[in-house]
Every structure is written in C-alpha cells, then in structure tokens.
C-alpha cells in the first residue's frame, strides 16, 4: 500500500480521459461542505489513473490524498492510514477493481469511515445504496442522490434538493 498526495492544481496540467465524470461531484462537495479541504480516494492508483486525474481536476483548491491499494487485503491498512490523516471526505472510484462501487471492500471502507465521522461520496446510485452519504455524476443522471441515515451517522449535511434513497 502506498500513500500518494496530489495537489489538484498539478493535475490540471494534463487533460484526464474522463474529465466530466467528477465535475458535478466536485461542485456539490464545495457547495454542501465549504469547509472541506482534504479529499481522499482509496483505489488501485495505476488501474484508476484516469479517474484519479479527473477527480483531481474537479477539485481545484482542495488537497487530494490517494491511498493506493492493490487488493482487498490492503483495504484495512488503507483505513488505518485514513484514520491517521483524517480527510474531510472519501470519494469512491466507481470502476476501481478493488474498492469500486458494489464491492465488499467499498462496503468495508464506507462503514469504517462512517465510524470515524468521515463521509463517503460517489458518482453512482450504488454508492449511496451501499452507505455513501451522497452521489452525483453521470451514473445519477445529474441528480444529487443522498443517504440521510449515513449523513446522520457521519454528521454531514445534505445538499438542498437531494433525492433520498
């Protein structure tokens, strides 16, 4: 497992392959949680490079912490790293083969982050159904979907007009 920290400004230099996937999420995070300054992502960084670059580009001015995992067996150590560094939110990479939406590793990560009051967000409805606080992006048809129970557990506020699942 490797911890990599990107400054989102540096990621703007290269055009990501999936540039629009995280734009709506970035805007929603800034509106809903204006005090958010550090966002983390747990994924296989090599396999999810395009998504990580797109995420970094959608979060200008925020620090992006990437926790690189190669398999589900490393997610526990990733949680320990996140517990130590305390990001303001964790973003799920929908297509990641290790911690992607719908995986048991994603469920584990979401539950552990909720336990330490760190909200998890994504870009698909599956993320919210698994327990992420909110999701918005191409997978949601542009709608902000929310999980009120998860928001209560993490202490996060929900954006106005969010569709509750």
Q: For residue 111, which of 90, 140, 94 has the smallest C-alpha distance? A: 90
Structure tokens at 20: 């629009």
Which residue in the block uniquely carries the two structure tokens 């902000």? 144
Angle (CA) 52-55-58 rounded to 5° is 155
Instruction: Kindly tell me if the per-residue pLDDT of 143 is higher than 50.
Output: yes
pLDDT number for residue 62 = 95
Domain 2-122 has CATH 3.40.50.2300: yes
The pLDDT tens digits of the residues spanning 4-52 come to 555 443 333 333 335 589 999 999 999 999 999 999 999 999 999 999 9
d(CA 32, CA 123): 15
Each residue's pLDDT tens digit, 75-129: 999 999 999 999 999 999 999 999 999 999 999 999 999 999 999 999 999 999 9
With the CA atoms of 41, 42, 43 and 48 taken in that order, what torsion angle do they form, in degrees rounded to the nearest 10? 0
* pLDDT for the residue 53: 95
Q: Where do the structural domains in the chain lie, given as residue ranges?
A: 2-122
- What is the predicted pLDDT for the residue at 8? 41
pTM of the model: 0.88
Alpha-carbon torsion (117, 54, 26, 164), positive or negative: negative
Task: Let me know the angle formed at the C-alpha of 91 by 128 and 138, rounded to the nearest 5 degrees.
Answer: 65
Check residue 22 and give its pLDDT: 95
**Element housing 6 (H / E):** strand 2-7
Predicted pLDDT at 1: 61
* Residue 70 pLDDT: 97
From residue 114, give the alpha-carbon distance in Å to each of 30, 76, 109, 147: 20, 14, 9, 12
């Amino acid at each position: 497992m490797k911890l990599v920290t990107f400054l989102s400004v540096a990621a703007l230099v290269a055009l990501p392959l999936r540039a629009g996937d995280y734009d709506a999420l970035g805007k929603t995070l800034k509106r809903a949680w204006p005090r958010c300054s550090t966002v983390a992502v747990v994924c296989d960084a090599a396999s999810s490079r395009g998504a990580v670059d797109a995420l970094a580009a959608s979060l200008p001015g925020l620090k992006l912490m990437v926790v690189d995992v190669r398999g589900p067996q490393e997610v526990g150590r990733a949680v320990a790293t996140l517990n130590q560094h305390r990001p303001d939110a964790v973003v799920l990479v929908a297509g990641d083969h290790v911690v992607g939406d719908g995986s048991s590793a994603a469920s584990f990560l979401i539950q552990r982050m909720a336990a330490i009051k760190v909200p998890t967000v994504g870009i698909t409805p599956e993320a919210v159904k698994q327990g992420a606080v909110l999701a918005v992006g191409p997978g949601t048809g542009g709608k902000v979907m929310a999980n009120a129970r998860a928001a209560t557990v993490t202490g996060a506020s929900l954006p106005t007009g969010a569709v509750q699942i």
